[in-house]
Amino acid sequence: MKERFYIKGGTPLKGEVSIGGAKNSVLKLMAAAILAKGETIIHNVPDLTDVEIMLSVIAQLGAKTDYDKNSKTLVIDATNLSSITAKYELVSKMRASFVVLGALVSRCKEAIVALPGGCAIGERRVDFHIKGLEALGAKIKIENGYVHAKVPKLKGAEIYLDIPSVGATENLMLASVLAEGSTTIQNAAQEPEIVDLANFLNSMGADILGAGTSEIVINGVTPDRLHGIEYTTIPDRIEAGTFMSAIIATRGKALIKNVYPAHLTFFTNKLLKMGAGIKLVEPNVLEVSCKNRLESINFVTQPYPGFPTDLQSMAMTLLTTSDGVGIITESLYENRFMQVPELRRMGADIHQDRNHAIIKGVKKLTGATLAASDLRAGASLVVAALMADGSSTIENLHHIDRGYENFENKIRLLGGKIERRCEEEDSAILSEGTHNESYL
């Protein structure tokens, strides 16, 4: 059943909000849990559709799972795996599930995993994953939409990634944990989620050095070294950046709790340069505020620790009403400006030339009927609607639900006027000739 957000803009967000566990980390921790026999407990697991999909993927492999949504605690027991196949109907829904390839090859010496899907933000090929696995000794066949990897014994190797791919780095880390000898991944991704995965694996008994730098060394261990653990996921830096943007966009002032400020240094510096107020009030608490119109600046997306592509759409939304002209260069994905037509519907002045967007700040955005095209673009439209004059509706909420837990509830806690309704509720409201005055 179709659901929509109904948002009335113009209310400054105030109060406090707590950030949940990192989606882009916990999905990989779930895959890593299948490496070890025994019970693994993961805390701070957000209730997201992507988490549900990954639960289905690992359950299909034979792992037992128990997820308590109230406590955000997930128990995985992968003692007895019964399958080496991750099927298309699940993997095609979420790209991150492709990471089970490395874990399965590592533990079972064979894996059959469907080629991945996910948001349509551009081509994200799996060449680096395949070449790395081949360097470790795996024989790879790709046919009928599946990657079939098989190896009698994985052996450590020197692997160089042409680009610092997060997914390839994670898959190769998982594949190398039980390989014979040492593996070195050069030009590795340096994201905080990579560090979280390495910390998780080391807690299980793996031997990984250098995570968070461009060179990661994985010294292979024997299967009996790995064991179940209890672990807490890091906070979601992209969710934190989204709420920072929403507070600033609405000229509000609020506390953001359960955040690792070091993971957001580049984004925070950009916001400060634009004129936002950001203070560290406790080690894991930021006070975010904005009183005046922001100044336009330029952004270039880069691999971590550069400006994150996942926050590019937020930056664009802020630039739409900033003073002057700002340019965004998207250097990672070719289709990541899909929010542009929707922002134009709200009155934004944006000229797009391939991977460059030139944004001339206007005085205000106005409410409109909008549709989310992907996860981060969808979240940026929520921010735009919150800052706009008038009311907006946003469709295709399934994209947003992939990465934001209780999104509208958290916004309402900050005083934002937003509600979620399905088509049936719309029809009932229209037939009664009434509506909720507090939102529309």
What Cα–Cα distance (Å) separates residue 334 from each residue in 125, 302, 328, 353?
Answer: 13, 13, 13, 11
Concatenated DSSP letters of 138-189: -EEEEETTEEEEE-SS-B--EEE-SS--HHHHHHHHHHHTTSBSEEEEET--
Number of domains in the chain: 2
Q: Report the DSSP pairing between strands 215-219 and 182-186.
A: antiparallel
From 184, 216, 232, give the residue that closes a domain: 232
Predicted confidence (pLDDT) per residue in 268-310, tens digit: 999 999 999 999 999 999 999 999 999 999 999 999 999 999 9
The reply to whether 76 falls in a domain is yes
**43 sits in which H/E element:** strand 39-43
SS3 of 326-339: EEEECCCCCCCCCC
Residues 227 and 240 in one domain: no
Domain termination site, one of 189, 206, 232: 232
Structure tokens at 240: 């934190």
Same domain, 168 and 314: no
User: Is residue 437 assigned to a domain?
Assistant: no
Residue 221 has pLDDT above 90, yes or no: yes
Distances (CA, A) of 167 to 120, 269, 340: 16, 27, 27
pLDDT score at 434: 46
Shared-domain flag, residues 39 and 110? yes
Q: What pLDDT does residue 249 have?
A: 98
Please tell me the predicted confidence (pLDDT) of residue 425. Answer: 67
Q: Which is the catalytic residue, given 108, 119, 290, 422?
A: 119
Average pLDDT over residues 416-424: 90
Sheet holding 110-114, edge to edge: 85-86, 110-114, 146-150, 139-143
Residue 420 has pLDDT above 90, yes or no: yes
- Which strands sit side by side in the sheet containing 215-219, from one edge to the other? 158-160, 182-186, 215-219, 207-209
**Residue 422 falls in the annotated catalytic set:** no
Q: In terms of domains, do 319 and 191 share one? A: no
Q: Which of 348, 341, 342, 385 is nearest to 367 (CA)?
A: 385
Q: Are 390 and 344 in the same domain?
A: yes
119 or 380: which leads in pLDDT: 380
For residues 268 and 373, membership in a common domain is answered with yes
Counting every residue written for the chain, the total comes to 440
Give 437's pLDDT tier (boundaries 50, 70, 90).
Answer: very low
Q: What is the pLDDT of residue 429?
A: 52
Question: How far apart (Å, rounded) are the C-alpha atoms in residues 417 and 429?
Answer: 18
For residue range 36-71, list pLDDT tens digits in order: 999 999 999 999 999 999 999 999 999 999 999 999
Which tokens belong to 178? 């039980």
Q: Among 232, 249, 278, give the residue marking a domain's end.
A: 232
Q: What are phi and psi of 353, to 5 degrees?
A: -130, 95
Per-residue pLDDT reduced to its tens digit, 302-354: 999 999 999 999 999 999 999 999 999 999 877 789 999 999 999 999 999 99
How far apart CA 227 and CA 135 sit, in angstroms, is 27
pLDDT band at 170 (very low <50, low <70, confident <90, very high): very high
C-alpha R_g of the chain? 22
Same domain for 289 and 345, yes or no, is yes
> Is pLDDT of 430 > 80?
no
- H/E element holding 306? none
pLDDT value for 93: 86
Range of the domain at 377: 3-20+235-432
Mean pLDDT of the chain: 94
Q: Same domain for 100 and 127?
A: yes
Q: Are 99 and 128 in contact (CB under 8 A)?
A: no
Strands (E), 361-400: 369-371, 391-395
pLDDT for residue 117: 55
Quick one: tokens of 306?
């550069």
293 domain residue, yes or no: yes
Using the 8-state DSSP alphabet, how is residue 403 labeled? Answer: T
Alpha-carbon distance 406 to 116, whole Å?
26
> Six-digit token pair at 76?
């995985």
Domain annotation covers residue 352:
yes
Find the CATH number of the domain harbouring 201.
Answer: 3.65.10.10
Amino acid in the structure at residue 375: L
Place of tokens 């003073």: 323
Q: Which amino acid is at 150?
A: K
Does residue 438 sit within a domain?
A: no
Tell whether the model's pLDDT for residue 118 goes beyond 50.
no
Is there a single domain that holds both residue 226 and residue 257? no
Q: What percent of the chain has pLDDT over 90?
A: 88
- For residues 311 and 214, state if they share a domain: no
Q: Does some domain include residue 439?
A: no
Does 195 share its domain with 245?
no
Residue 363 burial class via C-beta count within 10 angstroms: exposed 0-12, middle 13-18, buried 19 and up = exposed
Q: Are residues 192 and 124 in the same domain?
A: yes
Does residue 440 form part of some domain?
no
Q: Per the confidence metrics, is the pTM higher than 0.85? A: yes
Q: How far is Cα of residue 39 from the mean position of the Cα atoms in its chain?
A: 26
- Longest CA pairwise span in the chain (Å): 71
- Taking residues 394-406, report their average pLDDT: 96
